[in-house]
Amino acid sequence: MTAPGAHRPPIVLASASPRRRELLAALDVPFVVRPANVDETPPAGLDPAGVALAIARRKAAAASASAGGQLVLAADTVVALEGCLLGKPADAAEARAMLERLSGRTHDVYTAIVLVLDDQRCEAVPLTRVSMRQLSASEIAASIAAGTPFDKAGGYAIQDPLLAPVARWEGCYCNVVGLPLWSTWQCLRTLLPDATPRPPDTAFERCAACPLRQRI
């Protein structure tokens, strides 16, 4: 293990998600992107939070195998409607079916984060309750035509300005985007207490009212 306070190589972000790259960049910590190619089939017998954590652990384990002592950050987002998991739609028909099911209803979003450094680990699985507004058939069709649903759990993005699908949420906004910033920051501070700089004041502007907020 690298001694406290010593120079460390960049964090390995085991994700190809552009949303996670954007969010992690807000913390002003150096990182490199090395997506982990793992089986993302939901394990049987687990609740949605357990599924997200199990898949994030798979990603972290795969990335850690070649990380060479670098800190690895892996994440997985799960959308659950009345206990039923909604993954990334495979085609337009599946995307349409997902958005029609979610329209006007409230569902749960979990993003599991797993940070691994040598033999140390920090994990969190925040929950955000998301209420969708009523979506029209033409709005759903436009979102599908734009290609928005296909790399996102549940087939939507809370930050999508075209569809603007969410009426309200309870919990962490960034959790729905794909990386809960406060939870990630706290885990970084746990594993790298002497090597993690305070983020810029702008890092948490979007998170001022987040219930995960802690004093930094």
Task: Collapse the DSSP code of 53 into the 3-class scheme (helix H, G, I; strand E, B; otherwise coil) and give the result.
Answer: helix
Supply the mean pLDDT for the chain.
90
Question: Residues of the chain with pLDDT > 70: what percent?
Answer: 91
Contact between 130 and 104 (Cβ < 8 Å):
no
208: CB partners within 8 A, 6+ apart = none
> What is the torsion angle, in degrees rounded to the nearest 10, for the CA atoms of residue 213, residue 52, residue 70 and residue 14?
-110
| pLDDT tens digit sequence for 170-213 | 999 999 999 999 999 999 989 988 766 667 667 777 777 788 87
pLDDT-derived band at 216, boundaries 50, 70, 90 = very low
Question: Tokens 């337009």 label which residue?
Answer: 92
The secondary structure element, H or E, covering residue 187 is helix 181-191
| pLDDT tens digit sequence for 132-164 | 999 999 999 999 999 999 999 999 999 999 999
d(CA 135, CA 142): 11
Closest by CA position to 151, among listed 35, 51, 24: 35
Q: Rounded to two decimals, what is the model's pTM?
A: 0.90
Question: Residues of the chain with pLDDT > 90: what percent?
Answer: 73
Question: Tokens 């910033």 label which residue?
Answer: 181
Per-residue pLDDT at 4 exceeds 70:
no
Where do the domains of the chain lie, and which CATH numbers do they carry? 11-207 (3.90.950.10)
**Cα angle value 89/92/98 (rounded, 5°):** 50
DSSP 135-155: --HHHHHHHHHHTGGGGSGGG
| pLDDT tens digit sequence for 35-52 | 988 988 899 999 999 999
Residue among 28, 39, 76, 91 flagged as catalytic: 76
| pLDDT tens digit sequence for 114-125 | 999 999 999 999
Asked about 76 being catalytic, the answer comes back as: yes
The secondary structure element, H or E, covering residue 75 is strand 72-81
pLDDT value of position 83:
87
